[in-house]
Amino acid sequence: MSLPFFLSIFIILIYISLFMNKKLSFIANSIQFMVLSILSTNYITIMTHNLEWMKASRDVTQFISLLINRECILPLIGVVMVNGYLNFEEKTHKLILFVCLLMFISVLDVLHLYFHSLSYPQWSLLNTVIVNSIYLFLCILIGKGLYHIQKKEETGNEQNL
């Protein structure tokens, strides 16, 4: 049951990220997606295997849904976060976007608990929310850095990153 749900969420996020207004170029978004995918994969690996604060399910479909979430959905949420952050001018709109995406990621973690693809023997959902908010801040920092590099490239050589 969890695999079709997370695949559907992944497809919806692909459509959102394809058709939204983007300040970052395709290559900058690709770099951001790659870096965020590496970060989220390392996070789940450290938490489940090295520290054993979380336990991943042994069921193949449950584990695949966890991988889709951590390697595809979270980086796409990061791309949506940065492009939305760069598009909005008012701080209230940026804060609303941040809170909505934080709640969305937290609901995905709750669904992992519901579908039994994750369990927290030495961790809590509050800690996960804190880590997710740090993750979104890192998304913004990476995106702002890429946007700065992109603007520098556009003004210097009239080329696009």
Total domain count for the chain? 1
Whole-model pTM: value is: 0.89
Cα→Cα distances 1→8, 51, 59, 62, 74, Å: 11, 28, 12, 9, 20
Question: Is residue 68 a part of any domain in this protein?
Answer: yes
Assess if residue 4 is contained within a domain: no
CA-based nearest residue to 143, from 90, 98, 106, 107 = 98
Q: Give 76 or 47, the one with higher predicted confidence.
A: 76
Q: Is residue 106 part of a domain?
A: yes
Residue 16 belongs to some domain of the structure? no
- What is the rounded distance in angstroms from the CA atom of residue 68 to the CA atom of residue 61? 10
137 inside domain: yes
Please compute the mean of the pLDDT values over residues 125-144 and round it to a whole number: 93
User: Alpha carbon 76 to chain centroid distance?
Assistant: 5
Q: Which of 40-49, 51-60, 146-155 has the highest mean pLDDT?
A: 146-155
From CA 147, how far away is CA 75, in angstroms rounded? Answer: 17
> Does residue 48 fall inside a structural domain?
yes
For residue 152, is it within any domain?
A: yes
Phi/psi at 118 (nearest 5 deg)?
A: -135, 150
Confidence category of residue 11, pLDDT binned at 50, 70, 90: very high
Question: Is residue 12 domain-resident?
Answer: no
Domain of residue 80: give its range: 26-157
